[in-house]
């Protein structure tokens, strides 16, 4: 990218919220590659200023407390209460608004109630859900199955509710994007391939392009990778 348009894009300021700790050095390479340019970036993590004890207090406390999975700055995987994350999210939005961002991208695929903001806030769950619905709309003449791959089994009931309006049968598999070895990724991809689903959603921002490629090679069906899909929508909105 060159010339005045490139300079204008690079002058834009993108806000990024992670429900874990920033910076998300594990996500940004794939995200920037799909974005196609590198704007100024301001990152905010919900756990940035918390001690280990405070982070532990945010864990789910019962089976009714839905689970979200994220990453700390040192790469450690942590599980958080969805309810507590929802409570903390508005302050992160306010913080990035104060830093003068033009748009905010949420680095989490959980479903959240919209947060009031002076700038657009992009929720990957809404983007991914719309794309899946659009792709499945052309398959109405036959049964369809969507496989949702998630970091933790305790998320299955939450994901069943999240995807119940997709108009298709659902299958679930578990793979941690943060602790899964290359062998575990390969075995999970092979299990998913045996399900013969019509589409696969890697339902966590932590899943990488490398993981997507492993599933694509094994299953040979459309694979939805939230981090790159979010980047492409972000690029459309920032292109001025």
Find the CATH number of the domain harbouring 203. 3.40.50.1860
pLDDT for 149 equals: 98
Per-residue pLDDT reduced to its tens digit, 106-135: 999 999 999 999 999 999 999 999 999 888
Please, is 183 exposed, middle or buried when counting C-beta atoms within 10 Å of its C-beta (0-12, 13-18, 19+)?
A: exposed
The DSSP line for 105-127 is EEE--S--PPPP-SS-EE-HHHH
Per-residue pLDDT reduced to its tens digit, 161-179: 999 888 889 999 999 999 9
Regarding whether 116 and 7 lie in a shared domain, the answer is yes
Regarding whether 89 and 69 lie in a shared domain, the answer is yes
Regarding whether 157 and 141 lie in a shared domain, the answer is yes
Measure the CA–CA gap between 17 and 131, rounded to whole angstroms. 22
Regarding whether 27 and 116 lie in a shared domain, the answer is yes
> Residue 62: which region, alpha, beta or left (left: phi > 0; alpha: psi -120 to 50)?
beta
Contacts of 225 (CB under 8 A, 6+ apart): 30, 202, 207, 209, 211, 212
How many structural domains comprise the chain?
A: 2
User: Which ranges of the chain have pLDDT less than 70?
Assistant: 1-10, 139-142, 240
Regarding whether 86 and 177 lie in a shared domain, the answer is no
- Is the Cβ–Cβ distance between 78 and 70 less than 8 Å? yes
Structural domain span for residue 141: 126-225
């Amino acid at each position: 990218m060159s010339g005045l348009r490139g300079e204008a894009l690079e002058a834009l300021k993108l806000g990024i919220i992670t429900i874990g700790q920033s910076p998300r050095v594990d996500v940004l390479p794939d995200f920037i590659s799909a974005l196609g340019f590198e704007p100024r970036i301001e990152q905010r993590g919900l756990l940035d200023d918390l001690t280990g004890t405070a982070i532990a207090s945010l864990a789910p406390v019962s089976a009714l407390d839905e689970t979200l999975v994220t990453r700390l700055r040192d790469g450690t995987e942590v599980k958080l209460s969805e309810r507590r994350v929802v409570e903390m999210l508005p302050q992160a939005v306010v913080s990035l608004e104060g830093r003068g961002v033009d748009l905010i991208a949420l680095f989490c695929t959980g479903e959240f109630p919209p947060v009031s903001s002076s700038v657009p806030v992009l929720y990957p769950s809404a983007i991914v859900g719309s794309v899946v619905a659009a792709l499945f709309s052309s398959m109405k003449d036959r049964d369809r199955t969507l496989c949702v791959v998630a970091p933790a089994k305790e998320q299955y009931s939450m994901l069943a509710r999240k995807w119940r309006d997709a108009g298709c049968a659902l299958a679930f598999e578990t793979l941690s994007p943060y602790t899964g070895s290359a062998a575990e990724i390969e075995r999970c991809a092979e299990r998913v391939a045996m399900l013969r689903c019509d589409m696969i959603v890697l339902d966590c921002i932590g899943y990488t392009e490398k993981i997507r490629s492993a599933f694509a090679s094994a299953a040979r069906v459309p694979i939805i990778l939230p981090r790159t899909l979010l980047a492409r929508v972000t690029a459309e909105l920032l292109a001025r």
